[in-house]
Amino acid sequence: MPELPEVETMCRGLRPIVGCRIEKVIRPKISVKPIRFQPEAERFCRELTGQRVDRIERRGKRVIVVLENGYVVFQPKMTGLVSLTDPPDPDHIRMKWLLGAVEKESEHQVSSGSIEVFFWDRRGLGTLSFWTAEQLEQHLGEGKLGPDALSISVDQMCERFRKTQRAVKVALLDQKLLAGVGNLYASEILHRIEVDPRTPCHRLKVVQWERLHQAMRDILEEAIRYEGSTLSDGTYRNALNQSGGYQNHHQVYDREGEVCRKCGKASIERIVQAQRATFFCPTCQRRAGKRG
């Protein structure tokens, strides 16, 4: 967390800065664990200063700010977020940009005044990188990052997943196979298609992969419409420091012990897979060979 819907929401929230020029880059003095910069922080700040923002992109679970000369890559990881207003607290602001007025108009741009951009990270696990086009492809190109979850085809998905014996929930988290899906949405996707998360990928039939692919698109697009999920810790916020709304539509994630909203009978269970929590309904997602 944040996953594809939250990061896509961040990207859309940053659209007002397109056309603006970065006038100043500030690293607030804080007493908590520092985040990692690439290159080192002082050079990072120098490289950005004076550059114009050309566009905003997303690759998997990363926000990419395309400048006229290079790419700024925000990797939020567990608790990072990019905001246009004051984030949850001042103690964990890792970087602040001051941007001037836009140089040309578009439907997403403001016409005058200045804008502030904050990168906030409570746990300090996120990273900030400034890369050339070659470095971007070296780190996030083919072979490093799989096809995006909103653009991958069914055929691509079958080809990439069907040969592995890993549990389907674990495989969905592998960003080299598929970019964008994380722990939360993998649990929701598998519940919707009624597949046990422990099922090995090679045992799923083509029709199940087709259903998984459709459910993945539907859930991710729906979560984007709700601007992502804000969990009980309140960490994730959109660019205007407002909560997402998709957490109110979760069927299994973080609902251990609660009655399944689909079958209305079983209680949601929690197991650990690859050191990550998995939530599922033992009735809707009955394990192959098991009888109720």
Residue where the block lists tokens 């998709």: 246
- Residue 61 known to be catalytic: yes
Catalytic residue (one of 77, 96, 162, 276): 276
Catalytic residue (one of 3, 6, 47, 188): 3
Q: Which CATH class is domain 4-140?
A: alpha beta
pLDDT in tens, 209-267: 999 999 999 999 999 999 999 998 878 988 888 899 999 999 999 999 999 999 999 99
Task: Tell me the sheet residues that pair with 273.
Answer: 276
Q: What does the pLDDT average to over 137-141?
A: 96
Catalytic residue (one of 15, 58, 59, 61): 61
Which option is the CATH number for 154-249: 1.10.8.50, 1.10.10.10, 3.40.50.720, 2.60.120.260?
Answer: 1.10.8.50
CA–CA separation, 87 and 258 (whole Å): 32
CA–CA separation, 81 and 72 (whole Å): 14
- 163-167, 199-203, 240-244, 288-292: segment of lowest average pLDDT: 288-292
- Residue 3 known to be catalytic: yes
- Residue 2 known to be catalytic: yes
For residue 92, is pLDDT > 70?
A: yes
The domain ranges of the chain are 4-140, 154-249
- CB burial readout 161-177, b (16+ within 10 A) else e: beeeebbbbbbbbbbeb
154-249 matches 4-140 in CATH topology: no
Residue where the block lists tokens 């957490």: 247
Please give the single-letter amino acid code of residue 75. Answer: Q
- Residue 166 known to be catalytic: no
Four-residue CA torsion sign, 195, 199, 205, 209: positive
